[in-house]
Chains A and B, each alone.
Chain A
Amino acid sequence: MRRDVVLRCEDVTAGYVHKPVVREANLEVRAGQIVTLIGPNGAGKSTLLKTIAGSLGKQGGAVYLVGKRLEELSVLEQARVRSVLLTERPRTELLTCCDVVRLGRQPHTGRFGTLSEIDQKAVRRAMELLQVEDLAEQQFMRLSDGQRQRVMLARALCQDPRLLVLDEPTSYLDIRYQIELYDVLRSIVAEGKLGIVMTLHELTLARQVSDWVACIKDGVVVAQGTPQEVFTSAVIDDLYDLEPGSFDPLTGAISIGCRAERMPEGGASHEAT
C-alpha cells in the first residue's frame, strides 16, 4: 500500500484580501487516508477546502499537491490529480447519469473529448463502485438527491485523482444515505491509491469514517489528531463552545439541555463563509 503524501498545507492563510478567514493552517493527507475538517459554521472549514480545491487563492503559506506547489501546476495538471465534490447542485438539462460521469474523464482525453477504451473502463469501474450502473441512462435531473450525490461522486472518482476533495458530502442526504456514504468512502480509500479531505457537520459520522480529524475554530486549526484523540469532551466542548461535559466521548452524543440554542448540529445548515 502506497502511503505517499498527496496534500500538504504549510502555514496556509486563506480567504479574502483584507480579511483572511483561515490563518496559518497546517494539514497533511496521505494516500489511503480520510481527513475530516470539523468546526462551527463560519469557522473557515469551507474556505480552507476551497483553497485546497484551487477555487480560492491564498494569501500566504504553501499548498503542495502530490509534492508540487499548487502554483506550479496548470489547471489541467491539477485536474489530473485532484477532483472535487461541491455543495452546489448542477443543472444539467438533458444529460444522463452516464454523460455526467463521463465528464470526469475530460482531463485525460484529447481536444474533442473522445473516450478511449481505458477511459470507458474507468467510467464503468467508478459507476460499479458507487452502484449507479442501473441509473446510467436516466436523466440526471430526475434523480433523488442521494442518487445525484452518488453519480457526482462516481464522476469525481473516474477522474482518477490522487486527492479527492469533498465539501459537505452529506448535505441534502438523509440518514440512510449517510450510512451508505460511509461505506463508499471507506471502499474508495481502501486501495490506498488516493486520499480524501472533506468537511463534515455530522460528528458521529466524522468520528467513524475518519483516519485523521482537524478542528477549525475562528480560522485556526486548534486541534488535530486521530478520532480517538480529538473526540474527547475537552476538545469538542471547546470547539463548539459547549458547556463542559456536553459531549460524551463514549457515545459521541451531545447532551441537550444546557445552551441548546448554540448547538451547531444539523445537516441542512450551510456555512456562512
Chain B
Amino acid sequence: MINGGTRRVRSLRTTVVIAGLAALFVALATANLCVGSMAIAPNDLVAALCSSDRTGTVAQVVWSIRLPRLIAAGLLGAALALAGVLLQTFFNNPLAGPYVLGISSGAKLAVAVLMVAVMSRAGIVTSWMSIGAATLGSFAVTAFILLVSERVRSANTLVVAGVMVGYMCGAATDFLVTFAGDASIVNLRNWSMGSFSGTSWDDVRTMAVVVIASSIAVFCLAKPLGAYQLGEAYAQSMGVNVRVFRKAIIVLSSLLSACVTAFAGPISFVGIAVPHVAKRLLGTSRPSAVLPATFLGGADFCLMCDLIARTAFAPTEMSVSAVTALFGAPVVIWVLLGKQEHAREV
C-alpha cells in the first residue's frame, strides 16, 4: 500500500509539474525575446542567437537589451520564490515572504542610502556595492522580525509587524528620494518602483553568481527543511542542528531577497504566491519536490509579469511590482480563505 501505485503516481506528478514548468519557461523566454516595441520573428531570433555577428539591429536588441533582461527576470524571480519558501517554513507561517515581512523594503532603504551617499560624491555604485548594502538592510529587518516572532506566537501579528516595518522603510526611502540631488533622482525613482529594465551583462554575471550559489545551498537544505515542517522542537529531536540551520536560513533568505532588491528594486508577492501555487500543483509540501518547482515557477512568474509590464501599455512601461501584485495578491487572499475553511474543519 505504502510503496504501491499511489507513491508512483505522486512522483510521476512531480515530474510532470516540473517538466511543465520548464517547458513554460522556454515558451515565455521565447515570447520575451520576440515581443516588444520591435517585433522579432522566431526565425530571425534563432538567426540572431546563433550567429556570431552582433551588429545587426535584431542582434543588438536581442543581445544587449532583451536577453540580459530576460535572464535577470528569471534569476531574480527564482530567488524571490525560494526566499519565500525559506521564510514560510522558518516562521511556520503561510503568509511570510520577503516583501510582506518588510525585508525587501529594508534592502531598498539601504540601497537608496548608498546611492544618495555615493552619487552625492560623484561616485559610481557598482553591483557588488548595492548587493552588500541590500544584504545589510535585509539582515537588519530580518533580525527585527525574529525579535518580534520570539515575543508573539500569533502568525498574523508577525505579518502585521512586517508590513509596518515595510511602511517605515518605504517612508524613509521616499524622504530620501524627495531630497536627493537631480542627478540621482531619476535613477532612484525608476529603481525604487521595481523594474528589470536596463540590466547589463555585468549585472547578470553578478546576480547569477549570488543566486545560483545560494540556490544550490538551499537545495542542500531540503532534508532539514522537511523536518522543520513539524516545528523546531521536532526538527531538533530528529537530528537537525537547529542553531546552525536557523542561521543558514536567515543568511540565505536575506541574500536572495537582497540580490533582487539590489538589481530590480522591491518586487511584491512573488515570494508568497509562487510557493503556494507550486505546492498546490504538486499536491505535496515535501521540500525535495517544492524547491525545484518553486525555483522554476518563480522564474516563469517573473518572465510573464515582465512581459506584461513591458507590452500591456507600450510604449509606457509599467512597474513589474504592480503586475506581480495584481496576480500575487489574489493568491494571498485564496490562502487566507483556505485557512478559514481549515479552521472550521477542526
- Give the Cβ gap from B41 to chain A, nearest Cβ, in Å: 43
Q: Is the CB of A112 within 8 A of B223?
A: yes
Known contacts: A76-B241, A93-B229, A95-B286. The answer to whether A55 contacts B222 by CB under 8 A is no
Q: Is the CB of A123 within 8 A of B2?
A: yes
Q: Which of B269-290 contact A (CB under 8 A)?
A: 279-280, 282-286, 288
Q: Is the CB of B284 within 8 A of A99?
A: yes
Q: Is the CB of B240 within 8 A of A75?
A: yes
Known contacts: A133-B1, A136-B1. The answer to whether A113 contacts B288 by CB under 8 A is yes
Q: Which residue of A lies closest to B238 (CB)?
A: A106
Q: Is the CB of A84 within 8 A of B94?
A: no
Q: Which of A95, A111, A127 contacts B285 (CB 8 A)?
A: A95
Residues of B within 8 A of A78 (CB): 239
Interchain CA distance A141-B284 in the complex, whole Å: 12
Q: Is the CB of B234 within 8 A of A54?
A: no
Of the candidates A74, A82, A112, the one having the most CB atoms from chain B within 10 angstroms of its own CB is A112
Residues of B within 8 A of A104 (CB): 238
Q: Is the CB of A95 within 8 A of B2?
A: no
Interchain CA distance A141-B341 in the complex, whole Å: 12
Question: Does B170 sit at the interface, judged by CB under 8 A?
Answer: no
Question: Does B226 sit at the interface, judged by CB under 8 A?
Answer: yes
Question: Does B183 sit at the interface, judged by CB under 8 A?
Answer: no
Known contacts: A76-B239, A90-B229, A106-B223. The answer to whether A84 contacts B234 by CB under 8 A is yes
Interchain CA distance A100-B230 in the complex, whole Å: 8
Q: Which residue of B lies closest to A165 (CB)?
A: B237
Question: Does A53 sit at the interface, judged by CB under 8 A?
Answer: yes
Residues of B within 8 A of A99 (CB): 284, 286
Task: Mark B222-233 against chain A: 1 for CB-CB distance below 8 A, else 0.
Answer: 110011011101
- Give the Cβ gap from B168 to chain A, nearest Cβ, in Å: 30
Interchain CA distance A84-B231 in the complex, whole Å: 13
Question: Does B342 sit at the interface, judged by CB under 8 A?
Answer: yes
Q: Is the CB of A88 within 8 A of B236?
A: no
Residues of A within 8 A of B1 (CB): 133-134, 136
Question: Does B6 sit at the interface, judged by CB under 8 A?
Answer: yes
Q: Is the CB of A112 within 8 A of B288?
A: yes
Q: Which of A84, A137, A142 contacts B237 (CB 8 A)?
A: A84
The count of chain A contact residues (Cβ–Cβ below 8 Å) is 43
Q: Is the CB of B239 within 8 A of A94?
A: no
Known contacts: A76-B239, A84-B234, A159-B238. The answer to whether A93 contacts B223 by CB under 8 A is no
Known contacts: A123-B2, A133-B1. The answer to whether A95 contacts B236 by CB under 8 A is no
Question: Does A264 sit at the interface, judged by CB under 8 A?
Answer: no
Question: Does B92 sit at the interface, judged by CB under 8 A?
Answer: yes
Q: Which residue of A lies closest to B223 (CB)?
A: A113
Interchain CA distance A253-B284 in the complex, whole Å: 47
Known contacts: A113-B288, A133-B1. The answer to whether A55 contacts B236 by CB under 8 A is yes
Q: Is the CB of B288 within 8 A of A75?
A: no
Question: Does B3 sit at the interface, judged by CB under 8 A?
Answer: yes
Q: Is the CB of A106 within 8 A of B239?
A: yes
Question: Does A207 sit at the interface, judged by CB under 8 A?
Answer: no
Q: Is the CB of A92 within 8 A of B2?
A: no
Q: Is the CB of A95 within 8 A of B223?
A: no
Q: Which of A62-100 contact B (CB under 8 A)?
A: 74-76, 78-80, 82-84, 86, 88, 90-96, 98-100
Interchain CA distance A114-B342 in the complex, whole Å: 31
Interchain CA distance A88-B233 in the complex, whole Å: 9
Q: Is the CB of A54 within 8 A of B2?
A: no
Q: Is the CB of A113 within 8 A of B238?
A: no
Q: Which of B235-249 contact A (CB under 8 A)?
A: 236-242
Residues of A within 8 A of B239 (CB): 75-76, 78-80, 106-107
Q: Is the CB of A75 within 8 A of B284?
A: no
Residues of B within 8 A of A111 (CB): 220, 223
Would you give 7 A-B contacts (Cβ < 8 Å), ordered by A? A79-B236, A80-B239, A88-B231, A103-B227, A120-B2, A123-B2, A124-B2
What are the 9 A-B residue pairs with the smallest beta carbon separation, nearest first?
A: A79-B239, A113-B223, A107-B239, A93-B285, A76-B239, A90-B230, A94-B285, A84-B237, A106-B238
B interface residue numbers (CB < 8 A to A): 1-3, 6-7, 92, 94, 220, 222-223, 226-227, 229-231, 233-234, 236-242, 279-280, 282-286, 288, 342, 345
